[in-house]
Amino acid sequence: MVKKLFVIIVLIGLAVFFYGMLSSFSGNETLNMSAAYYAENGAEEVGAANLVTAIVVTYRGLDTLGEVTILFLTAAIAAFFLKSKDNFSKRKVKESSELLKTASSMLVPLIFTLGIYVFVNGHLTPGGGFQGGAILASGLVLLLLSEPLQKVNSVLFAVVESISGLFYVGIGVAGIFLAGGFLDNSILPLGEFGTLLSAGALPVIYILVGLKVGSELSGLLTKFQETQEEN
Amino acid sequence: MVNLILINPIYIIGIGLGTAFLLGFFKKGKSVAWALMLAALAVMTYISFTWLWSFIFNGQLPEQVYTAGFKPPFSINLLMGKSEAFFTFLISFVGFLGGIYLFDKLKEQGTHAISVYLILIMGLNGIVMTRDIFNLFVFLEIASIATAGLIVLTPDIKAFSAGFKYMIASGLISGFLLIGIIFAYYFGGTLNIDFLIQADLLAVKGGVFAVFLIIIALLLELKPFPANGWGIDAYEASPAGINAVISAASAGAVYYVLSKVLPIADAKWYTVTAVVGMITFLGSNLMGIKQADAKRMLGYSSVGQVGLLLVFLGLSKQLGINFEFIVFGIIISHYLAKAGLFWLAGIVKTGKLKEWGILRRKPVLVFFMGTFIFALLGLPPFPSFFAKWTLVMTLSAAGMNLWVGLILLGSLVEAIYLFRWLGYTVKLDDNKELSLSTPLYKTIPVWVFGLLTYYIGYLSSTMVPGGSSLSMFYIPLAFVGVLFIVDKFLPVLIKNTVSIAAMAYYGWYYMADLTEFRMLFAIIFIGGGIITLIAGYAKNGKRIGFYPFAMMMYAGLAGLLLSENILQFFISWELMTLGSYILILRGKKSMPHALSYMLFSLGGAFLILAGLGLAYASSGANSISLDILKNVNQYSGLIYAFLAVGFMTKTAAIGLHIWLPGAHAEAESDVSPMVSAILLKAGMFGLVVLMLSMGSQSLGGVSLPYLLGWLGAITAILGNIMAVFQEDAKRLLAYSSVGQLGYVVFAMAFMSHLGWLTALAFALNHFVFKALLFLAIGGVVMRTKTKTMYEMGGLIKRMPFSFISVLIGIIALSGLPPLTGFAGKWLSYNAVIEKGWYFQGFLVSIAGLVAFLYCFRIIHVIFLGQPKDKFKNIKEAPLPMLIAQYILIGAIMLFSIMPNMVLKPVGDFLIQYFPDGALQWQGGTAISRLGRWSGVAIMNITMGIFGIIFVWLLFISRKAVKVKPFNIFYSGEAPSRPELTHFGYNFFAPYKKAVGFLVQPLVTRFWYGLADILHSISDLVRRLYNGNGQTYAFYVIIFMVVFSFFTIGG
Amino acid sequence: MDFGQIAVSVGFLLILIGVWGILTQKNIIKIVIGFSVFDTGLHMIMVGIGYVKGGTAPILDGAIAPGTAPINIVAGIVDPVPQALVLTAIVIGLGVTALMLAYVVRLYEDRKSLDISSYEDLKW
């Protein structure tokens, strides 16, 4: 109880601090220097209709590479210590309901399609590689929920993950030789603004990201599934 | 210099990541994956190396690397400047060697672990190079997640719980960092660090919150005390190979980040950084004292070292142009030493410090362990020494004495546990049940870093101001180095001969033209050194580890005499300390004594360093010549006091003496004379230099020489009284040295001609007879295998030559005519009467009487009385030891007959310092204001009287009955305690009853009490680290909230 | 108060709740949930910071059609940078959460306990 009191006191201190921050925040009337630059030049320089994507993949492409790396890391770490149980598919689980099974067999293809759509159109509409990849993995979640004992081909995930990662780095390096620097998207022609084949290498990168994120999350999920022992 | 082709630094990241992704194809081929990783790390190292090379040798300018083809602040850019090249090189290089070291662990965990390791190194490189604050956050996350993953490379429950705690704390920290970053973006309109610095966040209302969060989060990443339990636990749990990388590379990277980001704030934040650093440095080292686990202890030490770096960073403005050099020295030492020690911890495997004895199976690894520990503690010739030296000089010149004091204090605390650990390793049992894993892939990294420590030390020595004068150490240290290399292969006979020859040559070639008191000390140091080495021929085998360190000690002693500036002087002082520490540590039961010797010596050395720093500042901070002591303007009393106390840790003045008896008594038979007869004089030499340069000074209205006089007198009497009650012969002699150095200090404190003549003459005398006595007793101990006097007796018949040595030694010691000691006494009485210090003089003459008691005891109990059965067939001491003794006896005789040989030249040069009251000489007769004295006459008279008495004694005892021991011992009873049957046991019991209260071990109790208090505090404070991840997270939040109150007032 | 300020206030509140959870809950899964709450608050703050009064999504297709003069784009959209950052932050948060849960799985496998005080092997 004493401990909780301490926590409360410290939290009050923290709250006071946050209040100070909050009161110093007065909202924005206009875009600041950086944002204004992106708004003015983003369309022309990168050629992506979605300015957020332009920033994520090109202007701040190194962050995105880093973030892909983090997912890769978590998947890799979990993989080396979550040792798969050989008998995970022999454990007894309650039969999934008919409703879930039917729905998942109908929905999963749709979900996968949606995921692919989201990352392929990442430079035009809201969404992108991460979102698309996450949608792909959510399809897998549904599959696993309906068939908990199902064996998933995790080797496939690993291969897709590695290939898309390598290509991503490769495209980045190509930017040094063919364009203005690492991860420059103008190694491919920018194309006609607003169409699917525009924004240079940006859609390619986002597709790779989508595949990579999808396979990494799926790999992680499979790993969790394979370590289960209990019913 | 050669031009290397520069490679775009972005490839460091590209290659790291690309290879990590590529490894996914090698799930089965783990060795291939490992090799690929090493190749990638090698290339990354090489890229940084090309840059570093060009920056250093070819005047390369820093280069911006743009990504995405746009310029900052709109896209992320990296910077490759000199610092970046340096840090990335360090990171990738330790990553490469660490990768080799981790061969087995990485292979065991498979390809995934290998890519995580590679990404960690890549991420750390990114942290260093990026100039975008959000990108920095991303790389920090990469590094901390990879670290969390590698903690569990040995997947046991401890590792997982440590990893979980690590993630809780680092998750919170990065959360706060992100809030700070987004607010910085809001107030500054950019994420680029350079533009944020220009945006001057602190000028904007509310910007202070952003600055606060960013800086506090980065500080928290550096694991400040006490909000660092999560980091410490991780150090304990993770494999040593990973710790090496975390400690050497991560700490450096995050430190560099902080230094890169700190310019967004103002001076106040620099102070905050320095304060946090200091608290961490002191707190962590305090915690280190109570640790029993190697990795955890090294964890505390790592955190402490980073704290020290924070102090420098915070004080960077005050350190000015020396900042870079200081940080370089400390970082590189920490880097090499910590990685090396962690690697050794992985080789030893056992966590328990007390089981490190097994490392002795590989002596070269012990050697490197010592190297790393010395490097961490800033001893010469390692880079941190030069950094610390420059630091103290710079801070003193800036008048920041409190900081100097705290830094030296923290270092001393760190020395406690590191030297204790070294002591355990060198002395404690080698537990045969434990195994040592020394495959090549584990030892090679240790070798590389060990050797680099020396090389970088050499480089640093050329960079330090005054560094060119250090070439005087090259030849002696090169000789020491050669001895190290051949140590394993050559027998004593060769090494001893070579050492003697080298010392003789060095003395003749470099020291023959020394003058004045330097010449006198040269005779003691070099001449004495050679004589004691002659005794070393008595040893068989290889005596591994003796000669290099003995020569190091003598190199230091010689260096003291040849020094012309304070840097040379201080390095010599430290070399001598280091060498002698190891010599003392070699003794049988010397572990605790060697530790206390080292701690007192280091404490003394730090006082000397602080004193020299003050003197440097006080004389205008423009010269490091030894002469600055003559030109101090300010703090003269303090400087005098610091230096005097520092030097007296070596002369073992009362209060600072507790290390001496153990250290001298437990040392080997020919080491005891080295340390007792020769080494103590180094402290005296320091006092001589100090007092001749600075004259009399006073502190707080009290004349310091007057205090020294009292201190000397008290030391003389108490040292002698303590000697009387010893049962152990070598201890007796050791305490006697304490007392006799008391005389020296007493006589010097007169600051008069006769006083100094007494002191200097006595120094020479003391060297001769104490060396003689220690050698003679050492010979006896060698044969009897015991140091306890009551176990001996009647040895005169079996060891007559040793008996004569001791006899002459004690006559000289007790100041009886006709031998040299008498000359000293005669002079000192003259001096006392002149000065009028009657009471102190009375104490000292009592001390002289007391000396008779122990002199009598040592010769009587050991050599006279009834011989014991077990020593019936004992042999005389080995010939080499006897030769050494008889050379010394020759010296005593010569000096006794012709005292003018020494006194006259000494008096001659003393005239320029103390013109008043010099002795007049008529041939061999000295004339003072009070009387006259002739060595030859005294010798003749005394020998005459002695001869008459001796003959008469022979005459009256011609009918004496000879008894056998059996006739008088036991009377048929079996003794319960054998010592009670010997008259030599508790020989002076009546006196003990009378004056025993004087020699209660009050001083010992004081120091041990202090040590206990330190331990108790350490033990109490470490309860903060209760092992609960939630508590650790709580500390992180408290740390933040508390500092927010201090810095932005809530 | 505009939307931005509301989002930021709620964000701070969520962070406080998250920290409360992290510091007081004994169950390690609940601690991980605390982190999720914390992260959510963080993300709300980030998005709220980028809000511009009257601005629309920074995508040049609907309200701001392709070909709009740059000056009008500047006037019409909210700040795209925090949105880009929050994407990265979300993914990192996801990674951390996943990894923490993986640790929880391992911890639970070993000791069959979810109480954080069962894992105090290393201390002092």
What DSSP assignment string belongs to B398-411? Answer: TT-HHHHHHHHHHH
Residue type, B79: L
The full set of domain ranges for chain B reads 186-458, 467-951
CA distance B19 to chain A (A): 8
What DSSP assignment string belongs to B535-553? Answer: HGGG--S--TTHHHHHHHH
pLDDT band at residue C119 using 50, 70 and 90 as cut-offs: confident
Write the CA distances from B338 to B154, B342, B369, B602, integer angstroms: 20, 6, 10, 21
Give the max Cα distance, chain A.
66
How many angstroms separate the CA atoms of B310 and B330, rounded? 11
Token look-up 């949930």 returns C33
How many angstroms separate the CA atoms of B10 and B4, rounded? 17
CA distance B290 to chain C (A): 9
Q: In what order do the strands lie in the sheet with B920-922?
A: B920-922, B925-927, B932-934
- The two counts, helices (H) then strands (E), for chain A are 8, 0
In B62-191, beta strands by DSSP E? 63-66, 77-80
Of the candidates B763, B739, B995, B768, the one whose C-alpha atom is nearest the C-alpha of residue B848 is B739
Question: pLDDT by residue (tens digit) across B186-242?
Answer: 999 899 999 999 988 888 878 899 999 999 999 999 999 889 889 999 999 999 999
- To test the contact with chain B by mutation, choose from C111, C120, C122 the residue with the greatest count of B C-beta atoms within 10 A, namely C122
SS3 of residue A72 by DSSP: helix
How many angstroms separate the CA atoms of B389 and B326, rounded? 9
Of the candidates B676, B817, B685, B804, the one whose C-alpha atom is nearest the C-alpha of residue B740 is B676
Task: Identify the sign of the CA torsion C24, C26, C28, C33.
Answer: negative
Give CATH for domain C3-57+74-116.
1.10.287.3510
Q: Which residues of B touch C123 (CB under 8 A)?
A: 229, 233, 1025-1027
CA distance A156 to chain B (A): 11
Q: Which residues of C touch B1034 (CB under 8 A)?
A: 23
Question: pLDDT by residue (tens digit) across A1-14?
Answer: 788 899 999 999 99
Q: Do B67 and A62 touch (CB under 8 A)?
A: yes
Domain span at A102:
63-79+98-226
Q: How many CB atoms lie within 10 A of CB A4?
A: 11
Of the candidates B810, B780, B785, B809, the one whose C-alpha atom is nearest the C-alpha of residue B795 is B780
SS3 of residue B973 by DSSP: coil
A155 within some domain: yes
How many angstroms separate the CA atoms of B322 and B387, rounded? 9
Q: Are B247 and B95 in contact (CB under 8 A)?
A: no
Contact residues, A window 144-163, toward B, CB-based 8 Å cutoff: 155, 158-159, 161-162
The full set of domain ranges for chain C reads 3-57+74-116
CA distance A43 to chain B (A): 14
- To test the contact with chain C by mutation, choose from A26, A52, A202, A220 the residue with the greatest count of C C-beta atoms within 10 A, namely A52
Q: Do C45 and B161 touch (CB under 8 A)?
A: no
Write the CA distances from C15 to B508, B744, C12, integer angstroms: 77, 71, 5
Residue type, B172: L
- Phi, psi (degrees; rounded to nearest 5) at B224: -75, 150
Question: pLDDT by residue (tens digit) across A78-133?
Answer: 888 887 666 666 777 777 888 888 888 899 999 999 999 998 888 888 888 899 99
Of the candidates B571, B565, B613, B608, the one whose C-alpha atom is nearest the C-alpha of residue B393 is B613
Strand partners, B79: B64
Q: Which residues of C touch B186 (CB under 8 A)?
A: 49
CA distance A90 to chain B (A): 26
First to last CA, chain A: 37
CA distance B175 to chain C (A): 7
In B689-808, beta strands by DSSP E? 698-699, 702-703
Among candidates B148, B161, B1027 on the partner chain, residue whose Cβ is nearest the Cβ of C99: B148
Q: How many CB atoms lie within 10 A of CB B204?
A: 17
Of the candidates B706, B681, B700, the one whose C-alpha atom is nearest the C-alpha of residue B522 is B681
How many angstroms separate the CA atoms of B800 and B823, rounded? 27
Structure tokens given for A198: 């525009």
Please enumerate in sequence order all residues whose Cβ is within 8 A of that of B506, keeping only pairs 6 or more positions apart, or say none. Answer: B475, B476, B526, B558
Token look-up 């932050």 returns C89
Structure tokens given for A68: 């892909």
How many angstroms separate the CA atoms of B164 and B141, rounded? 15
Between A197 and B648, residue with greater pLDDT: B648
Within its chain, how far is the Cα of B563 from the centroid? 20
Q: How many CB atoms lie within 10 A of CB A161?
A: 25
Between C47 and B69, residue with greater pLDDT: C47
- To test the contact with chain A by mutation, choose from B64, B67, B147 the residue with the greatest count of A C-beta atoms within 10 A, namely B67
| Among chain C residues, CA nearest to A41 | C70
Residues of chain B scoring pLDDT < 50: 1050
The angle subtended at Cα B38 by Cα B35 and Cα B42, nearest 5°, is 140
Among candidates B115, B191, B209 on the partner chain, residue whose Cβ is nearest the Cβ of A76: B115
Q: Is the pTM of this model over 0.90?
A: yes
* Cβ pairs B/C, distance under 8 A: 113
How many angstroms separate the CA atoms of B43 and B50, rounded? 11
Q: Are B469 and B564 in contact (CB under 8 A)?
A: yes
Q: Do B1025 and C124 touch (CB under 8 A)?
A: yes
Structure tokens given for B559: 């260096």
Write the CA distances from A201 to A127, A205, A206, B8, B307, integer angstroms: 17, 6, 9, 22, 46
Q: Are A34 and B189 in contact (CB under 8 A)?
A: yes
Please enumerate in sequence order all residues whose Cβ is within 8 A of that of B196, keeping only pairs 6 or more positions apart, or say none. Answer: B133, B184, B188, B190, B264
Q: Which residues of B touch C100 (CB under 8 A)?
A: 164, 167-168, 171
How many angstroms separate the CA atoms of B196 and B47, rounded? 29
SS3 of residue A25 by DSSP: coil
- To test the contact with chain B by mutation, choose from A77, A162, A168, A216 the residue with the greatest count of B C-beta atoms within 10 A, namely A77
What DSSP assignment string belongs to B271-293? Answer: HHHHHHHHHHHHHHHHHHTT--B
In B881-984, beta strands by DSSP E? 920-922, 925-927, 932-934
What pLDDT was estimated at residue B921? 78
Q: Do C85 and B134 touch (CB under 8 A)?
A: yes
How many angstroms separate the CA atoms of B803 and B807, rounded? 6
Q: Do A40 and C74 touch (CB under 8 A)?
A: yes
What pLDDT was estimated at residue B13? 93
How many angstroms separate the CA atoms of B1019 and A64, rounded? 47
What pLDDT was estimated at residue B1050? 46
Q: Are B549 and B579 in contact (CB under 8 A)?
A: yes
Q: Are B392 and B613 in contact (CB under 8 A)?
A: yes
Write the CA distances from B968 to B867, B964, B972, B981, integer angstroms: 12, 7, 10, 10
How many angstroms separate the CA atoms of A151 and A157, rounded? 13
For B926, the enclosing helix (H) or strand (E) is strand B925-927
- What ipTM describes this predicted complex? 0.97
| Among chain C residues, CA nearest to B134 | C85
Mean of the per-residue pLDDT values for chain B?
89
Among candidates B172, B175, B1025 on the partner chain, residue whose Cβ is nearest the Cβ of C123: B1025
What DSSP assignment string belongs to B198-231? Answer: HHTGGGSTTHHHHHHHHHHHHHHHT--TTTTHHH
SS3 of residue A184 by DSSP: coil
| Among chain B residues, CA nearest to C24 | B1030
- Say if strands B77-80 and B698-699 run parallel, antiparallel, or are unpaired: unpaired
What pLDDT was estimated at residue B991? 80
| Among chain C residues, CA nearest to B140 | C92
Within its chain, how far is the Cα of A57 from the centroid? 12
SS3 of residue A42 by DSSP: helix
- Say if strands B920-922 and B925-927 run parallel, antiparallel, or are unpaired: antiparallel
A182 within some domain: yes
* Cβ pairs A/C, distance under 8 A: 157
SS3 of residue B739 by DSSP: helix
SS3 of residue B703 by DSSP: strand
Average pLDDT of span A46-75: 89
Among candidates C19, C88, C103 on the partner chain, residue whose Cβ is nearest the Cβ of B1037: C19
How many angstroms separate the CA atoms of B475 and B942, rounded? 49
What pLDDT was estimated at residue B963? 64
CA dihedral of B690, B691, B692, B695, whole degrees rounded to 10: 120
Helix extents (H) in B563-679: 566-585, 591-618, 636-651, 660-666, 671-673
Q: Which residues of A touch B17 (CB under 8 A)?
A: 65, 69, 165, 169
Q: Which residues of C touch A67 (CB under 8 A)?
A: 87-88, 91-92
A153 within some domain: yes
Please tell me the total count of domains within chain A. Answer: 1
Among candidates B148, B149, B1027 on the partner chain, residue whose Cβ is nearest the Cβ of C123: B1027
Q: Are B584 and B593 in contact (CB under 8 A)?
A: yes
Question: pLDDT by residue (tens digit) across B963-978?
Answer: 665 555 555 555 566 6
- Phi, psi (degrees; rounded to nearest 5) at C77: -115, 165
